[in-house]
Amino acid sequence: MNNKANYWIDRLDLQPHPEGGYYKEIFRSSTEVFRKNESETKKIAFTSIYYLLETNDFSGFHRLKSDEIWYFHDGQPINIHILNADGSYKCVELSNSENGSLQAFIEPNCWFAAEIPSKLDFALVSCAVAPGFDFSEFEMASKSSLNIIYPLQKNLIEKLCRF
């Protein structure tokens, strides 16, 4: 682990995340909302975390039932790979470089994964989820399931799926 990654992990008190990398929830709204067309259960309005990846680590393909926005803070560019419900693929470079974006939006129910393409150093981002993140609405992908739905992305799926 490099010194700057260690610095952020210690300073922000980050812990290992089940999808890979390190995280810490920094905000959970006290406001509750109903998700459109789902009036039976109130949800937390939104949540926010710090999230850090380093070198060969990656955020494995997963999906949420909520919108998610990633914000770049420090380190190397991250590629966010998005598999849309219509079968299309999109890659967003999250970085402060000329080719990058400082934020990236992932729609609900899209499969997505993230990696540091250079495999160098680390990247620190924040992720905001609305309605708020709930592990009961978090689903890790399986290679076999995604390969059936997205056969053109087999190499990417094999590389960035944990199971």
Residue-wise pLDDT for 107-140, tens only, equals 999 999 999 999 999 999 999 999 999 999 999 9
Domain segments of the chain as ranges = 4-160
Please identify which residue in the block is written with the tokens 């010194």. Answer: 3
| Cross-strand bridge partners of residue 127 | 49, 70
Class of CATH domain 4-160: mainly beta
Decide: 66 and 130 in contact? Cβ < 8 Å: yes
Q: What is the pLDDT of residues 32-82, one digit of tens each?
A: 999 888 778 899 999 999 999 999 999 999 999 999 999 999 999 999 999
